[in-house]
Structure 1
């Protein structure tokens, strides 16, 4: 199908860095896509039926009804597809294939899944250790584990100079950061549209920028969250994990699976109900849904600056106090 519609076989017009997957991989891709769609629909329906329709406060999303996230994400997905309607994605796909050629995709994906498990276990282990030092630094265990398992170890194993690298030449870094083609900046329209909807009159609790707190504590939190959440997560879940899943399964199966992983990983940081089922459903319906937006933005343009900018703005808006009483 044209322009990267939902079709795991369509690798000629999408930015997936491989030829058409083998028949077995295509079947797996369809199964993953179907299972992912069912997971998203089931999670949303479960939350609506159970009455859990409000997004909890977190460092990524403002509290409010679920529809205030779902509707803007749906609009942005359509805008990403339309801006521009016709784009030379075939050439971009070839360039991505050249940079990832010769790699062992399955092994690298296994390493990345292992890093996600290590992120969870690392936080469990480091939290009491940090609390022994000082109760005020307990939360740093999350960021420490994230940096170790979602940045340092993946870079050591599958980075441009990682120990699992079997090819010479540049990796995705230069392609993702040196964006000279104007059409690959067209996603700025989708990014601007999402932020405009956040500030729209009907948005739940539109942010009041207020003034900078005297002790600058908020600025430290915002800076830490942008570096430890926005930037790091886009590199790991989109540039590293999703790209390789697209190689193996196709564009939309890769996006959906990476988004589900991103959503479930968010259970660690978010303030969700104690009920594990509700927590996972909320993570999929909030962070996972946002992951679809980030994922398609990355897959369409392969411009990491768009992902960084959108994620950083969302994180900043989520952390800005709403009233002067918080200063």
Structure 2
């Protein structure tokens, strides 16, 4: 049985279709613009200025998307969201918070500790206050268990492993980092822990579990995935930008924007945190770990 979001999306209301087409056009247009300017090398880390061809980032994500589609569960588990006006209020406030985070980070120059302070403010403090104030409108919905429990929990292993293999081995592999050789073991472990909590965990909870889920109930699956992916991509301009805003936006849209499509679909189909956390944590930690080999 298809869920209500899928049926609603099939009707193609103007807003849903407009957001979907506009978002995908931004990604495709960014790729074309970069190609025409001969600037197809995109940064894959904020720690240095190294680049990889943009299609090296697309292939693992596209392979993951195809595998999710082929191996998807029969039903999508339901995550509790507010009802009525509460849903729209939370969706709009979370959207505004995401936009403000990207804009203020870019305006501030993206350095530390402002980056972390802004992230904790807009992606954690604002949602926490919002949820507390609107708690009376919140409805908890149980998970649907029409699929075998084991398949729902372990099915994501296939697309996640495929993404990891294509991203970090073979000709498409992201270059390893020598960061581990520049710090002591304690600093390295602390860095891994802090980066996981502040980046991987907080970002995935905010952009996928909170923001995307609410907009899925309003717009349908793919418009919400595209919207959340572009918002997640946009804030990276603040830490990876070169100072030329059009080129910086194009770069993050074809990099994090495409990765966000994979993460968003992974979350939308399985409603499990561990797959998206594994992928996001690997984005941050895998190059360092590979550099230690």
Same structural fold, with TM-score higher than 0.5 when normalized by the shorter chain: yes
CA separation in 2, counterparts of 1:30 and 1:319?
40
Aligned match of 1:221: 191
CA shift in 2, pair 1:163/1:204, >3 Å: same
Distance 1:239 1:156 in 2: 17
**Contact 1:14-1:300 at 8 Å conserved across structures:** no
Residues 60 and 314, structure 1, Cα contact 8 Å, conserved in 2: no
**1:74 equivalent in structure 2:** 62
Unaligned 5+ segments in structure 1 are 1-11, 129-137
CA distance in 1, matches of 2:108, 2:265: 34
Give the aligned CA root-mean-square deviation in angstroms: 3.3
Of the structure 1 ranges 197-206 and 143-152, higher mean CA displacement relative to structure 2 is found in 197-206
Alignment-derived partner of residue 114 in structure 1: 96
TM score, norm. by length of structure 1? 0.77
1:275 corresponding residue in structure 2: 244
Report the counterpart of residue 134 of structure 1 in structure 2.
none
* Aligned match for 2:218, one of 248, 251, 257: 248
CA, structure 1 residues 121+20, in 2 after alignment: closer, same or farther (shift >3 Å)?
Answer: closer
Q: Match for 2:176 among 182, 191, 207?
A: 207
Task: Flag the structure with higher helix content.
Answer: 2
What is the Cα deviation at residue 289 of structure 1? 0.8
State which of 120, 133, 146 in structure 2 corresponds to 1:147: 120
Contact 2:86/2:137 (CA < 8 Å) preserved in 1? Answer: no
Partners of 1:245 and 1:303 lie apart in 2 by 17
**Distance in 1 between residues matched to 2:194 and 2:134, nearest whole Å:** 30
* 1:124–1:208 Cα change, 3 Å: closer
- Report if the CA contact (8 A) 1:60-1:318 is conserved: no
In structure 1, distance between residues paired with 2:150 and 2:42: 36
Find the residue that maps to 1:37 and give its secondary structure.
Answer: helix
1:125-176 CA-to-partner distances (Å, cap 9, x unmatched) read 8779xxxxxxxxx512101110111012102202xxx2123336547xx96x
Give the whole-Å Cα distance in 2 for the aligned partners of 1:42 and 1:157. Answer: 35
Matched residue SS, 2:94:
helix
Q: Is 1:49 matched with 2:36? A: yes
Aligned partner of 1:307 among 262, 267, 276: 276
Per-residue CA deviation, residues 276-298 of structure 1 (Å, 9 max, x unaligned), is: 10001001111111110110000
Give the equivalent residue in structure 1 for 2:150. 182
CA distance in 2, matches of 1:189, 1:209: 29
- Number of equivalent positions: 288
Deviation at 1:300, TM superposition (A): 0.4
Cα gap change, 1:31 to 1:76, in 2 (>3 Å): same
Q: 1:323 to 1:184 in 2, by over 3 A?
A: closer
Q: Which residue of 1 aligns with 2:75?
A: 89
Q: Contact 1:263–1:283 at 8 Å: present in 2 too?
A: yes
